[in-house]
Amino acid sequence: MNYVFHIFTIISLYVILGLSLNLTVGYGGMLSLCHAAFYGMGAYASALLMVNAGWPFLPSFAIAVIVVGMLAYLISIPSVRFHGDFFVLATLGFQIIIFSILYNWVTVTKGPYGIADIPRPRLWGLSIASTPAFFVLSLVVTLGVWGLTRRLVKSPYGRTLEAVRDDELAALALGKDVIHFKRSAFCIAGSLAAAAGVLFASYARSIDPTSFTLDESVFILCVVIIGGAGNMKGPIIGAVILVSLPELLRLVPMPDAVAANMRQGIYGLLLVLLMRFRPQGIAGKYASD
Protein backbone atom coordinates (compact mmCIF):
# COMPACT_ATOMS: atom_id res chain seq x y z
CA MET A 1 0.00 0.00 0.00
CA ASN A 2 2.91 2.32 0.77
CA TYR A 3 4.03 1.77 -2.80
CA VAL A 4 0.77 3.16 -4.15
CA PHE A 5 1.04 6.20 -1.87
CA HIS A 6 4.64 6.63 -2.97
CA ILE A 7 3.57 6.77 -6.63
CA PHE A 8 0.75 9.18 -5.78
CA THR A 9 3.18 11.43 -3.94
CA ILE A 10 5.58 11.49 -6.90
CA ILE A 11 2.67 12.21 -9.24
CA SER A 12 1.56 15.09 -7.05
CA LEU A 13 5.09 16.56 -7.09
CA TYR A 14 5.12 16.45 -10.88
CA VAL A 15 1.64 17.93 -11.00
CA ILE A 16 3.02 20.93 -9.06
CA LEU A 17 6.04 21.14 -11.36
CA GLY A 18 3.88 20.75 -14.47
CA LEU A 19 1.28 23.32 -13.37
CA SER A 20 4.00 25.83 -12.57
CA LEU A 21 5.93 25.29 -15.80
CA ASN A 22 2.61 25.52 -17.62
CA LEU A 23 2.44 29.18 -16.55
CA THR A 24 5.63 29.91 -18.50
CA VAL A 25 5.31 27.41 -21.35
CA GLY A 26 1.57 27.18 -21.84
CA TYR A 27 0.21 30.57 -20.84
CA GLY A 28 3.34 32.65 -21.34
CA GLY A 29 4.49 30.91 -24.53
CA MET A 30 8.07 30.78 -23.24
CA LEU A 31 9.71 27.39 -23.64
CA SER A 32 11.83 27.26 -20.48
CA LEU A 33 14.41 24.57 -19.87
CA CYS A 34 15.55 25.61 -16.39
CA HIS A 35 12.61 24.45 -14.32
CA ALA A 36 14.60 21.67 -12.66
CA ALA A 37 17.05 24.34 -11.52
CA PHE A 38 14.29 26.10 -9.54
CA TYR A 39 13.05 22.74 -8.26
CA GLY A 40 16.59 21.93 -7.13
CA MET A 41 17.25 25.32 -5.59
CA GLY A 42 14.03 25.00 -3.59
CA ALA A 43 15.07 21.55 -2.38
CA TYR A 44 18.56 22.73 -1.44
CA ALA A 45 17.41 25.96 0.22
CA SER A 46 14.97 24.15 2.50
CA ALA A 47 17.33 21.22 3.16
CA LEU A 48 20.13 23.58 4.20
CA LEU A 49 17.79 25.52 6.48
CA MET A 50 16.37 22.37 8.08
CA VAL A 51 19.64 20.45 8.44
CA ASN A 52 22.25 23.14 9.07
CA ALA A 53 20.13 25.75 10.83
CA GLY A 54 17.66 23.34 12.40
CA TRP A 55 14.66 25.35 11.22
CA PRO A 56 11.21 23.74 11.28
CA PHE A 57 9.42 22.80 8.07
CA LEU A 58 7.02 25.69 7.51
CA PRO A 59 9.48 28.60 7.81
CA SER A 60 12.00 26.77 5.60
CA PHE A 61 9.22 26.16 3.09
CA ALA A 62 8.31 29.83 3.06
CA ILE A 63 11.89 31.09 2.85
CA ALA A 64 12.79 28.61 0.08
CA VAL A 65 9.78 29.65 -2.00
CA ILE A 66 10.50 33.35 -1.56
CA VAL A 67 14.25 33.12 -2.18
CA VAL A 68 13.86 30.98 -5.28
CA GLY A 69 11.11 33.28 -6.53
CA MET A 70 13.54 36.18 -6.25
CA LEU A 71 16.29 34.25 -8.03
CA ALA A 72 13.84 33.29 -10.77
CA TYR A 73 12.99 36.97 -11.18
CA LEU A 74 16.69 37.80 -11.50
CA ILE A 75 17.14 35.07 -14.13
CA SER A 76 14.07 36.27 -16.00
CA ILE A 77 15.53 39.79 -16.43
CA PRO A 78 18.08 38.77 -19.08
CA SER A 79 16.08 35.77 -20.36
CA VAL A 80 12.79 37.37 -21.41
CA ARG A 81 14.63 39.72 -23.74
CA PHE A 82 15.02 36.78 -26.13
CA HIS A 83 12.46 35.09 -28.29
CA GLY A 84 12.04 31.59 -29.66
CA ASP A 85 15.12 29.44 -29.91
CA PHE A 86 17.35 31.95 -28.16
CA PHE A 87 15.10 32.04 -25.10
CA VAL A 88 15.33 28.24 -24.89
CA LEU A 89 19.10 28.41 -25.24
CA ALA A 90 19.40 31.08 -22.53
CA THR A 91 17.26 29.13 -20.02
CA LEU A 92 19.20 26.00 -20.88
CA GLY A 93 22.36 27.93 -20.08
CA PHE A 94 20.98 28.94 -16.67
CA GLN A 95 19.97 25.34 -15.99
CA ILE A 96 23.50 24.14 -16.63
CA ILE A 97 25.07 26.99 -14.65
CA ILE A 98 22.88 26.33 -11.61
CA PHE A 99 23.44 22.59 -11.79
CA SER A 100 27.16 23.24 -12.00
CA ILE A 101 27.01 25.43 -8.89
CA LEU A 102 25.01 22.82 -6.94
CA TYR A 103 27.46 20.14 -8.03
CA ASN A 104 30.73 22.00 -7.55
CA TRP A 105 30.22 24.43 -4.66
CA VAL A 106 31.24 21.72 -2.24
CA THR A 107 31.57 23.89 0.89
CA VAL A 108 27.85 24.70 0.91
CA THR A 109 26.08 22.01 -1.07
CA LYS A 110 28.46 19.11 -0.32
CA GLY A 111 28.73 18.65 -4.09
CA PRO A 112 27.98 15.23 -5.49
CA TYR A 113 27.43 13.72 -2.00
CA GLY A 114 24.36 15.85 -1.48
CA ILE A 115 22.59 16.51 1.79
CA ALA A 116 21.37 13.63 3.90
CA ASP A 117 19.20 13.25 7.03
CA ILE A 118 16.64 15.85 6.06
CA PRO A 119 13.83 15.52 8.61
CA ARG A 120 10.29 14.71 7.61
CA PRO A 121 8.05 17.66 8.45
CA ARG A 122 6.34 18.23 11.80
CA LEU A 123 3.35 20.53 11.60
CA TRP A 124 1.67 21.83 14.76
CA GLY A 125 3.07 18.95 16.77
CA LEU A 126 1.84 16.47 14.19
CA SER A 127 4.62 14.33 12.74
CA ILE A 128 4.24 13.62 9.03
CA ALA A 129 6.62 10.69 8.78
CA SER A 130 4.68 7.89 7.13
CA THR A 131 4.22 7.74 3.39
CA PRO A 132 0.38 8.08 3.44
CA ALA A 133 0.62 11.08 5.77
CA PHE A 134 3.15 12.69 3.48
CA PHE A 135 0.89 12.06 0.54
CA VAL A 136 -1.88 13.97 2.32
CA LEU A 137 0.51 16.90 2.86
CA SER A 138 1.68 16.95 -0.75
CA LEU A 139 -1.92 16.62 -1.94
CA VAL A 140 -2.84 19.67 0.13
CA VAL A 141 0.06 21.65 -1.37
CA THR A 142 -0.84 20.42 -4.87
CA LEU A 143 -4.44 21.52 -4.44
CA GLY A 144 -3.18 24.87 -3.18
CA VAL A 145 -0.95 25.27 -6.23
CA TRP A 146 -3.79 24.18 -8.51
CA GLY A 147 -6.15 26.70 -6.96
CA LEU A 148 -3.58 29.46 -7.18
CA THR A 149 -2.64 28.84 -10.81
CA ARG A 150 -6.28 28.42 -11.77
CA ARG A 151 -7.14 31.72 -10.15
CA LEU A 152 -4.18 33.36 -11.86
CA VAL A 153 -4.97 32.16 -15.35
CA LYS A 154 -8.69 32.96 -15.10
CA SER A 155 -7.91 36.46 -13.86
CA PRO A 156 -7.23 39.49 -16.06
CA TYR A 157 -3.56 38.79 -15.35
CA GLY A 158 -3.81 35.37 -17.01
CA ARG A 159 -5.75 36.73 -19.96
CA THR A 160 -3.12 39.39 -20.54
CA LEU A 161 -0.40 36.78 -20.30
CA GLU A 162 -2.16 34.76 -23.01
CA ALA A 163 -2.51 37.89 -25.12
CA VAL A 164 1.25 38.47 -24.79
CA ARG A 165 1.84 34.89 -25.87
CA ASP A 166 -0.44 35.12 -28.89
CA ASP A 167 0.66 38.49 -30.16
CA GLU A 168 3.28 40.37 -28.24
CA LEU A 169 3.21 43.41 -30.48
CA ALA A 170 -0.56 43.77 -30.25
CA ALA A 171 -0.43 43.47 -26.46
CA LEU A 172 2.28 46.11 -26.38
CA ALA A 173 0.20 48.35 -28.62
CA LEU A 174 -2.70 48.03 -26.17
CA GLY A 175 -0.44 49.44 -23.49
CA LYS A 176 0.35 46.20 -21.67
CA ASP A 177 3.72 46.03 -19.98
CA VAL A 178 4.79 42.89 -21.86
CA ILE A 179 8.15 42.50 -20.13
CA HIS A 180 6.51 42.75 -16.70
CA PHE A 181 4.02 40.00 -17.50
CA LYS A 182 6.70 37.67 -18.81
CA ARG A 183 9.03 38.26 -15.87
CA SER A 184 6.34 37.81 -13.26
CA ALA A 185 5.05 34.60 -14.87
CA PHE A 186 8.59 33.24 -14.85
CA CYS A 187 9.06 34.30 -11.23
CA ILE A 188 5.78 32.74 -10.01
CA ALA A 189 6.55 29.52 -11.90
CA GLY A 190 10.01 29.39 -10.30
CA SER A 191 8.72 29.84 -6.77
CA LEU A 192 6.02 27.19 -7.23
CA ALA A 193 8.66 24.79 -8.53
CA ALA A 194 10.61 25.54 -5.38
CA ALA A 195 7.58 24.43 -3.34
CA ALA A 196 7.77 21.06 -5.11
CA GLY A 197 11.49 21.01 -4.34
CA VAL A 198 10.89 21.54 -0.61
CA LEU A 199 8.39 18.68 -0.58
CA PHE A 200 10.80 16.46 -2.49
CA ALA A 201 13.68 17.20 -0.10
CA SER A 202 11.73 16.27 3.01
CA TYR A 203 10.08 13.30 1.29
CA ALA A 204 13.26 11.74 -0.14
CA ARG A 205 15.16 12.76 3.04
CA SER A 206 18.41 13.04 1.12
CA ILE A 207 19.08 14.99 -2.04
CA ASP A 208 21.95 15.30 -4.45
CA PRO A 209 22.39 17.42 -7.60
CA THR A 210 21.77 14.56 -10.02
CA SER A 211 18.02 14.87 -9.34
CA PHE A 212 18.04 18.36 -10.85
CA THR A 213 19.81 17.96 -14.18
CA LEU A 214 18.92 19.22 -17.63
CA ASP A 215 17.27 15.83 -18.21
CA GLU A 216 14.91 16.59 -15.35
CA SER A 217 14.02 19.93 -16.94
CA VAL A 218 13.34 18.10 -20.18
CA PHE A 219 11.18 15.60 -18.29
CA ILE A 220 9.10 18.36 -16.68
CA LEU A 221 8.73 19.97 -20.10
CA CYS A 222 7.52 16.59 -21.41
CA VAL A 223 4.92 16.50 -18.62
CA VAL A 224 3.53 19.83 -19.80
CA ILE A 225 3.85 19.23 -23.55
CA ILE A 226 2.56 15.66 -23.60
CA GLY A 227 -0.34 16.49 -21.30
CA GLY A 228 -1.10 19.66 -23.17
CA ALA A 229 0.24 23.15 -22.61
CA GLY A 230 -1.98 26.11 -21.92
CA ASN A 231 -4.81 24.48 -19.99
CA MET A 232 -5.32 23.32 -16.42
CA LYS A 233 -5.87 19.62 -17.17
CA GLY A 234 -2.79 19.08 -19.34
CA PRO A 235 -0.04 18.98 -16.71
CA ILE A 236 -2.12 16.68 -14.49
CA ILE A 237 -2.70 14.21 -17.33
CA GLY A 238 0.97 14.51 -18.34
CA ALA A 239 2.20 13.83 -14.80
CA VAL A 240 -0.07 10.82 -14.37
CA ILE A 241 1.01 9.32 -17.71
CA LEU A 242 4.72 10.00 -17.44
CA VAL A 243 5.08 8.90 -13.81
CA SER A 244 2.97 5.77 -14.08
CA LEU A 245 4.35 4.69 -17.47
CA PRO A 246 7.64 3.32 -16.02
CA GLU A 247 5.68 1.58 -13.25
CA LEU A 248 3.53 -0.14 -15.87
CA LEU A 249 6.62 -1.05 -17.88
CA ARG A 250 7.88 -2.92 -14.82
CA LEU A 251 5.24 -5.54 -15.57
CA VAL A 252 7.01 -6.27 -18.85
CA PRO A 253 9.92 -8.60 -18.10
CA MET A 254 13.22 -7.08 -19.20
CA PRO A 255 16.53 -6.12 -17.65
CA ASP A 256 16.55 -2.89 -15.61
CA ALA A 257 19.16 -1.13 -17.71
CA VAL A 258 17.19 -1.69 -20.90
CA ALA A 259 13.93 -0.70 -19.19
CA ALA A 260 15.28 2.75 -18.30
CA ASN A 261 16.28 3.43 -21.91
CA MET A 262 13.04 1.96 -23.19
CA ARG A 263 11.10 4.40 -21.02
CA GLN A 264 13.13 7.38 -22.18
CA GLY A 265 12.88 6.23 -25.78
CA ILE A 266 9.09 6.16 -25.41
CA TYR A 267 9.10 9.81 -24.18
CA GLY A 268 11.15 10.75 -27.19
CA LEU A 269 8.81 8.95 -29.58
CA LEU A 270 5.76 10.46 -27.87
CA LEU A 271 7.22 13.95 -28.27
CA VAL A 272 7.92 13.43 -31.98
CA LEU A 273 4.50 11.93 -32.68
CA LEU A 274 2.62 14.54 -30.67
CA MET A 275 4.44 17.41 -32.36
CA ARG A 276 3.58 15.91 -35.72
CA PHE A 277 -0.07 15.06 -35.17
CA ARG A 278 -1.26 16.88 -32.07
CA PRO A 279 1.09 19.71 -31.12
CA GLN A 280 -1.34 20.96 -28.49
CA GLY A 281 -0.85 17.82 -26.39
CA ILE A 282 -3.32 15.21 -25.22
CA ALA A 283 -5.66 17.57 -23.39
CA GLY A 284 -4.79 20.78 -25.13
CA LYS A 285 -6.69 23.24 -27.19
CA TYR A 286 -3.84 25.60 -28.04
CA ALA A 287 -0.82 24.73 -30.20
CA SER A 288 2.30 26.07 -28.47
CA ASP A 289 3.43 28.84 -30.70
- Least distance (Å) between residue 275 CB and other proteins: 4
Measured from the CB atom, the residue of 55 and 103 that comes closer to other proteins is 103
Q: Which residues bind other proteins (CB under 8 A)?
A: 31, 78, 81-82, 84-86, 88-90, 92-94, 96-97, 100-101, 103-104, 214, 218, 221, 225, 257-258, 261-262, 264-265, 267-272, 275-276, 279, 287-289
Measured from the CB atom, the residue of 81 and 154 that comes closer to other proteins is 81
- Least distance (Å) between residue 267 CB and other proteins: 6
Measured from the CB atom, the residue of 169 and 251 that comes closer to other proteins is 169
Measured from the CB atom, the residue of 91 and 202 that comes closer to other proteins is 91
- Least distance (Å) between residue 214 CB and other proteins: 8
- Least distance (Å) between residue 199 CB and other proteins: 27
Measured from the CB atom, the residue of 52 and 104 that comes closer to other proteins is 104
Task: Check: CB of residue 286 under 8 Å from CB of residue 230.
Answer: yes
